[in-house]
Chain A
Amino acid sequence: MRIRMSSVLNQAFMIAFSFVMIYPVIWWVGASLKKTEELRLPTIWPEVPMWENYTEGWSFSANYTFGHFFANTLLMEAGNVIGGVLTAAVVAFGFARLSFPLRGFWFSLMMMTLMLPGQVTIVPQYILYNTFGFVDSYVPLVLPHFFGGGAFFIFLLVQFIRGIPKDLDEAAKIDGASVYGIFGRIIFPLIKPALVTVAIFTFIWSWDDFFSQMLYLSSVDKFTVGLALRMFIDQFEVQWGQLLAMSLLSIVPSVLIFFFAQRHFVEGIATTGLKG
C-alpha cells in the first residue's frame, strides 16, 4: 500500500512537472489560433479559434505554399544527411584504422578547425562560392557536408571505431577482405548507432542553420522553411498568428525524426564498444 502511495505521488509530481515543461507549447498552440489583437490578453485559448492562421499562413505567398518550402528543405536535408553520414564514416575509418604518413598531424589539423570561429570563414567562403557561381543554389549548403561532415562528427566516429576490437578487422583480413571490404562489411555495419547520431544532429543543425541559408539563398523559389518563416516578420510589423501557426508546423519534422530515431539515438550515445 505504501509503495502504491509513493508511486501515485511520483506520478503526480511528474505529471505536474511535465505540465510546467510543456506549458509554453500549449501557449504556442493557443496563440497560433488567435487574432493579433487577442495576443496581448492573458488567455491561453482564443474565444473563436482562427484556423485561417493555418490555411492563410500555408499559402501566404501568392506563388508558393509552405509545401514548396518544406519540399525544398527536405531536399537539402537529404543531401546533407547522406553526405555527412557517408563521408564522416569514411574519414573516421581512415583515421581510426589506417596508418599513413603524418596521420597525427592531419588529425590535429582537423581538430583545430573545431576551434576556428565560424565568423572568420564567412566572407572568404562567400567569395569562393560566388566565384564558382554557386550562390542562390543549394550547393554552398550541401557541399560542405560531403567533406567529412564536420570535425565533430569525425571525432565522434573515430572514438566509436576505436572501441571496436581490432580482432574483427584481422579476422576479415585473414579471410581475404581488402581495406574496403573491412570498411564495408565490418566497420560500417557496426557503427550504425553512431551514424544515427550523426544523421540526427546533421538534420537538426542544418534545419536550424538560419544564417547560411539566408546568406546563400536569395530567390523565394529556393527558400527553406526557416527563411519562409522570416517573411512574416518586418522591422515593425509581425503577423504573429500566421507566424506562430507555421513555426509550429516547422518543428514537426524534427520532432518526428527524434521520436522515431530515439531508440538508436540513445544506443549511439550509450554504446561505448563491443565486448569480445
Chain B
Amino acid sequence: MVKATATGKRAAWLAAFLACLLPLSACSSGDVVDVRSLQVREPAAGLPEADMDRPVELGFIWWGPTERHMATLAALEVYTARHPNVTFKPEYMEWEAYWKKLPTLAASKTVPDVLQMDAAYIRDYVSRGIMADLSDLDLAGIVPDPILEGVKIDGKLYGIPLSHNAQGIAYNRAELEAAGVPLPKPGWTWDEYFQWAREAKAKLPPDRYPIGDSASAWDWFQWYQASYGGGAIMSPDGKAFHLDRELFFRYHTILADLRRDNVVPPADVTLTFLENDPLADQLASGKVMTRGATVGSVAILEQYMPGQVDVVNVPIGPEGGGWAQPTIFLGVYAGSSETAHAKRFIKWFISDREAGRTLGLTRGIPIYGEIYQELEPNLEPKDRLGKVLADIAAEYAMPFHAAGAGFTEWVDAYKLTMEAVMFGQKSLEDAYGELNALGESIAEQNRKR
C-alpha cells in the first residue's frame, strides 16, 4: 500500500513535468507566425492571360454590420457574373470577433486571400509578414497620390484604402440653439475652443457642460502638441519619443482651470462616460454638448439624436488640427497562392461603377471620387453628416499618428496617470516626469531591437 502511494507520487511528479512541457511546446510554436519565408507569386502582369481564366476560389474575410455584409455579398455575385471562373469563399463577422479570430488564422497560416484591415492594426500585421506588398498595383486616377503616399508603410503599399476617414468634433446643435449659445465656428482655434466653452457654460443649465474633459485622452493632447508644431508624440516605429514639456503644462493647466470652474464635468462624472453607449455616451446622454467623432462613427450619433447633431473641425493651431486619412483597407495575404486574382479583384472592388452602386456607403465615403459623385443624390442624413465632417476636417488636417509600436503600455499609463491628476491625487509635475520617463525607456528599448 505504501509502495503504491510512492509510485502514485512519482507518477504525479512525472505528470506535472509533462504538463509543464505542453505550454512550452505551444509557446515555441511562435515561429509558426512568421510567414515571411513564404513565396509570394508574381503580380498579374507577369502571368499569362490563360492563367487568369482558370477556375479560382478566393477567400475574402471582412468585418462590419449586416448592411455591409449584404452589400458585399451582392458585389461578389456581380464579380462572379463578370468572371465566371472566379468564385468566393466569404467570411464575415463583427469588429470584435474579427480581431479575435484573425490572430489564430495568422498563426495557423490559414488567412483568406483577401482581408480587410484597419489602420490601428495594419502595421502589426505587416511586421508579422501577413500582408503582401501591393506597391505594383496601378491605382492612378482612382486613389489620389497624396493619400496613397500617406498610407504606405516603410515606402511600400500593403493596404488599398477603401474610404475617406477624418477626425472632427460632433455637437448637440438643437440644445445649444435652445440655450442661446452661438454654434462652434468652423476653423476655430484652441484658444477660441476654450473661450467658447467658458461662454457656453454661463448660458447652459447647471448640469450641462459645453465640452468634455480630455485630460486623460492621449490623442487629444497629441492633436494639441502637433498643432503647435511639437510633432507626433512617438514615431510609427516607436523609436523616437517627444512629449513637449511646455505644451503639456499649458494644455493641462487650461483643463485644470476649466475643471475648477466647473466648465468641464467633474472627474467622477467624466469616468462614467462610455462612447457610443446609448445611455452613457457623453453627447448622446445629453450631459455634454460636444465630443470627438470620426467620419465612420458619427452616423451612430445621428441615429441616437436624429437631426440634432452637427459637426466641426478639431480646434487648430498654427500647424492645423485633427487628421484626415483612410483607415480601412483591403489587403492580400502574403501566403496566398492567388495574388494576381486577389489584386485584380481589389482594384475592381474600389473602381468599378456597378460595384460602387452595389456597395453604396457601407464602407464609408468611397475613395474613388467618381463613385461618390454618382451616389451623392441618394444619401441618407447620417451618411451626409459623415461627408460634411470629412470636408471640414480635410481643410485643416494634419497627418494621422497611431500609437507607435510597443506604446500600448504608454497609452494605458497616460490614461491612468492623468486620471490621478484629474482627481487631484498627483501633481502635473510628477505626471509629466513619469510619462516622459516611461516613453523614453520604451523608445530606448525599440532602438535596441
State whether B66 touches A102 (Cβ < 8 A).
no
Query: Main SS of the interface on chain B?
Result: helix
Q: How far is the CA of A121 from the CA of B22 in the complex (A)?
A: 9
Q: Is the CB of A104 within 8 A of B8?
A: yes
Inter-chain contact B91/A218, CB cutoff 8 Å: yes
- Partner of A116 from the list B7, B22, B279 (CB cut-off 8 Å) is B22
The answer to the question of A254 belonging to the interface, with a C-beta cut-off of 8 Å to chain B, is: no
CB contact under 8 A between A230 and B19, given known A36-B278, A40-B304, A102-B11 = no
A122 and B278 contacting across the interface, CB-CB below 8 Å = no
Please name all residues of chain B whose beta carbon is closer than 8 Å to the beta carbon of A120 when the two chains form the complex.
Answer: 22-23, 26-27
Query: Within A103-123, which residues are at the interface with B (CB < 8 Å)?
Result: 104-105, 108-109, 111-113, 115-117, 120-123
A13 to B22, CA, bound (A): 53
Interface segment, one of B95-103, B179-187, B223-231? B95-103
Q: Which residues of B contact A134 (CB under 8 A)?
A: none
Grouping DSSP codes into helix (H, G, I), strand (E, B) and loop, the A interface class, with mixed when no group exceeds half, is helix
Give bound CA distance, A127 to B101, whole Å: 13
Q: B65: shortest Cβ distance to chain A, in Å?
A: 4
A224-239: CB near B (< 8 Å → 1, else 0) gives 0001001111111111
Contact of B278 among A39, A104, A219, A227 (CB under 8 A): A39
* Contact indicator A236/B297 (Cβ below 8 Å): yes
Chain B residues within 8 Å of A40, by CB: 278-279, 281, 284-286, 304
Complex interface: chain B residues within 8 A of A112 (CB): 15-16, 18-19
| A128 to chain B: closest residue by CB | B108
Which one of B96, B278, B296, B306 has the greatest number of beta carbons of chain A within 10 Å? B278
Inter-chain CA distance A235–B278, complex, in Å, is 14
A80 to chain B, nearest CB (A): 21
B15 touches A108 (CB 8 A): yes
Where the two chains meet, the residues of A that have a C-beta atom closer than 8 Å to any C-beta of B are: 36-37, 39-40, 60-62, 102, 104-105, 108-109, 111-113, 115-117, 120-124, 126-127, 130, 135, 211, 214-215, 218-220, 227, 230-240
User: A36-B304, A40-B285, A60-B66 provided; 18 other pairs, C-beta below 8 A?
Assistant: A36-B278, A39-B304, A116-B23, A120-B26, A120-B27, A123-B32, A124-B26, A124-B29, A126-B104, A130-B110, A214-B100, A219-B91, A227-B97, A231-B65, A235-B63, A236-B296, A236-B297, A238-B300
* 4 A-B pairs with least C-beta separation: A105-B11, A104-B8, A112-B19, A39-B278
